């Protein structure tokens, strides 16, 4: 029989990310029944470890069965009812997806838009809240995977809570790579994905909701429209009752349990610093090649860097050759940025110096072949200066005024 086993590829795109070897070993543990005492013990420790990464004491903190978008859907179908007014920040694909999900819940959706590659403007959000009294939820993406923008969340949370609104935050590409700090920042409903900075395979959506949000759920006038994502039933399985709801993806729970243990062993601050350092080194190397970055340094997401495709260079040619000739995958642009940017992910286990250097050398070689002159030696030297300099651990490298947008 012909083997369909794929060859190994270095995943440096927007996700999934490379999986930690110990996580792969955990997936191969013996499959147990979803109510087996040993498995229930792993479930309990998993929820505790997840609280640590979210930095929350929320009782309802668990990995949902499904990818990151299932976390988004859970957030909306449980808490939003028909007629509720929901303000959604849209500065990329996933903000637009949140607006779509809110509309499917028959909410009154107010969109606050920002250019792709820019963070949400708190002033625009404030104006929209003033113009639309009675907003019940303010939803936004902390780390917009389609652009590599990290939006500061504190101002958005403050103005939402000042008006009595709950906050829904997408942290799919940020959890485990940059601070989420659920309790300190006052985030009410938060979801993520297992396949990004946690270095776990896709298939689970870490989720947490505070007591204020649960009061809204308990006070619903209508039944939660999704059976599978009904938190009132799911939490009875993950809570002390252990009532059967659905067959848990046992092997994936093993995987995230191990992934979270590895996060705890490394320590959150050390992990955040590692992501920032490798991102800064990559940015310095790309700039040394003469490439522009889409996002200004102040808002650049450490786990994902958006690189402007040079004029006259084919996005598809470069990505195709990286995969075929070097075994490296990076992502292309989505929506209005399709063909205009490359998305380079340095997430979790993939955020390593050797990966930065391997990508820079391969990318420079291909670009030179395509007529865009750049020096791999200069790119690697620029990255090495970041790794050698103590300032790189506390500040982003100088952009030389070249970043902040891709020319069409």
Let me know the angle formed at the C-alpha of 30 by 27 and 32, rounded to the nearest 5 degrees. 105
Q: Are residues 305 and 173 in the same domain?
A: no
Q: Residue 36's pLDDT is what?
A: 92
Q: Check pLDDT > 90 for residue 239.
A: no
- Please tell me whether residues 286 and 211 are part of one structural domain: no
Point out the domain boundary residue: 265, 289, 321.
265
pLDDT of residue 400: 42
Please give the model's pTM, rounded to 2 decimal places: 0.94
**How far is it, in rounded angstroms, from Cα 295 to Cα 278?**
16
Q: Which of 223, 244, 265 is the last residue of a domain?
A: 265
225-254 mean pLDDT:
90
Task: Label the pairing between strands 149-150 and 143-144.
Answer: antiparallel
End residue of a domain, out of 265, 280, 305: 265
pLDDT of the residue at 407: 56
Same domain, 261 and 295: no
Do residue 257 and residue 296 come from a single domain? no
Question: What residues pair up with 300 in beta bridges, in sequence order?
Answer: 149
Are both 98 and 219 inside the same structural domain?
A: yes
- 56 and 202 both lie in a single domain: yes
Same domain as 222, residue 171: yes
Instruction: Please tell me whether residue 268 adopts helix, strand or coil conformation.
Output: helix
The reply to whether 203 and 54 lie within a common domain is yes
Indicate if 147 and 280 belong to the same structural domain. Answer: no
pLDDT of residue 246: 87
Confidence of residue 394 (pLDDT cuts 50, 70, 90): very low
Does residue 229 lie in a domain region? Answer: yes
40 and 170 fall within a common domain: yes
CA dihedral 211, 212, 214, 217 (to 10 degrees): 170
Parent domain of 290: 268-393
pLDDT at 232 over 80: yes
Q: Are residues 185 and 287 in the same domain?
A: no
Task: pLDDT band for 234, please (50, 70, 90 cuts).
Answer: very high
Does 163 share its domain with 206? yes
The domain total for the chain is 2
Query: For residue 144, what is the DSSP state?
Result: E
Residue 1 lies in a domain: no
Residue 162 lies in a domain: yes
381-387's contacts with Cβ under 8 Å and 24+ in sequence apart are 381/288, 382/284, 382/285, 382/287, 382/288, 383/281, 383/282, 383/284, 383/285, 383/288, 383/356, 383/357, 384/281, 385/284, 386/277, 386/280, 386/281, 386/284, 387/277, 387/281, 387/353
Vertex 258, ends 253 and 259: CA angle to 5°?
Answer: 95
Task: Establish if 407 belongs to a structural domain.
Answer: no
């Amino acid at each position: 029989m012909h083997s369909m086993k794929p060859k190994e590829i270095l995943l440096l795109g927007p996700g999934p990310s490379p999986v930690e070897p110990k996580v792969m070993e955990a997936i191969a543990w013996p499959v147990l029944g979803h109510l087996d005492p040993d498995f229930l013990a792993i479930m309990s420790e998993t929820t505790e470890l997840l609280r640590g990464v979210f930095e929350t004491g929320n009782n309802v903190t668990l990995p949902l069965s499904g990818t990151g978008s299932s976390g988004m859907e859970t957030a909306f179908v449980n808490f939003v009812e028909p007629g509720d007014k929901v303000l959604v920040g849209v500065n990329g694909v996933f903000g637009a997806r949140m607006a779509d999900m809110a509309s499917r819940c028959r909410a009154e959706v107010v969109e606050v838009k920002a250019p792709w590659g820019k963070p949400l403007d708190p002033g625009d959000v404030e104006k929209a809240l003033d113009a639309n009294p009675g907003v019940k939820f303010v939803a936004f993406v902390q780390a917009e995977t389609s652009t590599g923008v990290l939006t500061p969340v504190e101002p958005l949370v403050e103005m939402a809570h000042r008006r009595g609104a709950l906050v829904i935050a997408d942290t799919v590409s940020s959890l485990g790579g940059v601070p989420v700090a659920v309790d300190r920042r006052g985030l009410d409903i938060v979801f993520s994905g297992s396949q990004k900075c946690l270095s776990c395979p896709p298939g689970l959506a870490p989720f947490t909701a505070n007591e204020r949000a649960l009061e809204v759920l308990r006070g619903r006038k209508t039944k939660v429209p999704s059976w599978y994502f009904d938190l009132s039933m799911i939490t009875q399985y993950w809570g002390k009752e252990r009532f059967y709801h659905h067959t848990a993806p046992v092997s994936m729970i093993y995987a995230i349990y191990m992934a979270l243990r590895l996060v705890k062993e490394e320590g959150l601050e050390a992990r955040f610093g590692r992501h920032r350092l490798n991102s800064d080194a990559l940015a310095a190397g790309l700039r040394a090649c003469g490439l522009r970055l889409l996002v200004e340094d102040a808002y650049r997401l450490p786990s994902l860097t958006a690189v402007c495709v040079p004029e006259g260079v084919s996005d598809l040619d470069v990505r195709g050759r990286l995969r075929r000739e070097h075994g490296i995958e990076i992502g292309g642009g989505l929506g209005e940025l399709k063909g205009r940017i490359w998305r380079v992910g340095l997430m979790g286990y993939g955020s390593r110096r050797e990966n930065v250097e391997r990508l820079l050398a391969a990318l420079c070689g291909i670009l030179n072949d395509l007529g865009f002159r750049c020096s791999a030696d200069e790119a690697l030297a620029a990255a090495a200066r970041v790794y050698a300099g103590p300032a790189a651990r506390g500040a982003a490298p100088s952009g030389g005024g070249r970043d902040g947008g891709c020319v069409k």
